[in-house]
Structure 1
């Protein structure tokens, strides 16, 4: 099922494959700093790892504006309301810029205090502080890239953001090489150099993506026009973004609690969990890419008031996502020993990790339900229901079952994986019935004037 925009057909596949490649690159190359620093110093790796945990939370915070931007711009485009699409783009970029500058200033001033709250060992403090101050101090650049990328994706230009990601990653790796290994007499700066490389590649990326925005959609950020724009655009962005961010923060917090349970089982269990989840993330990518592409298409269809097409689009994407994720999980399970063997030769880790990957065959279809249907619900304006159900399931299903099975009944990681399965399927089934009920048809942002 394709959606035609300005005489150009946009299919799910055309939207999805660049998103898949882009996300895969983020995953594989996002750890380039850590991988290359491992050749320099183990302490440097640990320092950057802790700092990146904090920086990841910042990305979640900046993401709530970007999520709202994707949905609103897609709806306006679907309704051929290009004026409001550009207005929302202006508001979202401006709002995320102001918010992220404030956060960046706080990070620079309070970086050492934040790291001390995490009980960072004294020997790691200097490297962690300089990395957090440099990368965190320029985090507003990443916020603008995320928001600009959301705008481009909403217009259907997912390949542009993919190429940008490739370019930024290459620049970052080249910079890391020079600062870590010091070829041609280049100064070896270690963590500080890696931070500089990260910041410079992002700044170049920002200028490139703003140029692409101007070229593709004739959009130029004009702060003079900002205060002339209707305030309901910002309200709509917050209406979508705040609950979404709350759900993401709730998920991350619940995962931290479950990680504490795993530390109670032992270090070997924690290591096994990391290796198994690294492989699971590769399976997850398919559902993630399909969910993002579907969200854009459903947004177009809602904007065009073609609710029946939106209804069918979500279900078709869901069935594709379930088949692909299940097939990938089966393949990964068949080769689990070889895949886990990339990370370790520990027989116990290989044995337990193999069982976890086997359980993933049940887990991933449930996750596909959640990712694809929740993204579609958000695209229609049905924001709060999936958020409330998600938070209730995380804390009412995943966390207690993980403790009861994993710790109380001593099932270890297998019990915790069963908790993950229960959480995903409980939420997935509820979301499925929510979509089938068509209750989302009454949302459409009409109550807060998002679509004219």
Structure 2
């Protein structure tokens, strides 16, 4: 009997994790394709799109973290077989998402040029970048609700619909880039504006697909349009209480990463280029961790809703093992073939050599990242969003930033030591996540 239960849990984990991994892989690939096509234009266009996209997606990721609260609450109600309450929570979360996206989108459109004026002095990049940002912020009216809608689907146990949405939207984005950037099939050659229209259009299309599934109600949860802007103070407060720490955690991580990049740029052009390339290569390795974190969040929430703590614990243990095995395999590749991997990203041998050393250090952090992401997902699924935020606060402010500042400005060591600093951060983060999880308070959280 126990063996059958373990097999059922394993199958459920992979059923949730694999589509989530594929979805995140698609997002990474479309970004790579986007930059490859823009890269055929000129340096000003490349800088404009790169900076504009970073601004746009950093903001949307921060506020899209509101979906964490929705995932935890929906999964808990689905586990308790209270579908009506899950659907009411979903409607309330979507309503919050539309309000926030309207505010963010409007502010983004109005302040696009001002933002670029603060960052740069190059008039051409400012002009192109502000134009790009205004257009993609139209898509932002739909992007945050899309992220929250997908979070609701994952909470209900459906990771396939977000994958379908991402696949169609990203295919549209890539085709749109090709047609509009270069003026193919009778369309005008729009360059940077074409890239922005393709990206914004893809966001709108993705939202249409996700919401079509939600409204039809054949994907686990049905969205009732009449309830989207019907305020329920208790639900509103619960969603905000759970989501704000997750939002602050994302803000902390994104801000720390951005500040670290500014500091790292002081080490020189070759060092920063090597750092950027190694980051691009390593980003692919995060996919398994992300997928199993999604699976753990959903399964812990549903198991606690069904009052089955043992199933929740087994789910966490198995997710940690599976994600560690996959990311451990990636670590082995990083250790054995770093130079060959980095040669795929650049022809500059000096940059490749330095990036290879960074990638070899990245191997050290793979398993700690797998552990941290899976356990963080478990805590969030249980409704403990404050724990991961507090841990993020500690590891960024007390570990990552002080170490990198010391390496860059005081010791003036090379970029490889910056990667050792981030490895230490992830090791500390994994340890603190395990400690938080082992205390067991997550088992009794009521949401």
Change beyond 3 A, Cα 1:374–1:410:
same
CA RMSD of aligned residues (A): 2.2
Deviation at 1:180, TM superposition (A): 2.1
CA contact (8 A) 1:2 1:10 kept: no
**TM-score (norm: length of structure 1):** 0.92
CA contact (8 A) 2:139 2:201 kept: no
Structure 1 segment 234-383 matched on structure 2, within 5 A: 234-383=236-385
Displaced runs of 4 or more, over 4 A: 1-4, 7-10
Deviation at 1:87, TM superposition (A): 0.5
**TM-score (norm: length of structure 2):** 0.93
Structure 1 segment 157-196 matched on structure 2, within 5 A: 157-196=158-197
Structure 1: how far apart are the matches of 2:211 and 2:4? 28
Deviation at 1:10, TM superposition (A): 6.4
Q: Higher mean Cα deviation, 44-53 or 82-91? A: 44-53
Deviation at 1:157, TM superposition (A): 2.1
Change beyond 3 A, Cα 1:202–1:350:
closer
Deviation at 1:296, TM superposition (A): 0.8
What is the aligned partner in structure 1 of residue 389 from structure 2? 387
Structure 2: how far apart are the matches of 1:384 and 1:26? 28
What is the aligned partner in structure 2 of residue 219 from structure 1? 222
CA contact (8 A) 1:2 1:11 kept: no
What is the aligned partner in structure 2 of residue 78 from structure 1? 79
Q: Higher mean Cα deviation, 199-208 or 85-94? A: 199-208
Change beyond 3 A, Cα 1:263–1:441:
same
Structure 2: how far apart are the matches of 1:432 and 1:113? 43
Deviation at 1:21, TM superposition (A): 0.7
Which structure 1 segments of 5+ residues have no match? none
What is the aligned partner in structure 1 of residue 103 from structure 2? 102
What is the aligned partner in structure 2 of residue 146 from structure 1? 147
CA contact (8 A) 2:76 2:302 kept: yes
CA contact (8 A) 1:69 1:89 kept: yes
Structure 1: how far apart are the matches of 2:395 and 2:442? 20
Structure 2: how far apart are the matches of 1:52 and 1:109? 17
CA contact (8 A) 1:15 1:158 kept: yes
CA deviations on 1:353-410 (whole Å, 9 max, x unpaired) are 2222222222111111211111111111222222112201211111112233454334
CA deviations on 1:335-366 (whole Å, 9 max, x unpaired) are 21111011223333233222222222221111
Change beyond 3 A, Cα 1:352–1:192:
closer
Structure 2: how far apart are the matches of 1:243 and 1:120? 35
Change beyond 3 A, Cα 1:3–1:113:
farther
| Aligned positions, number | 442
1:157 partner SS? coil
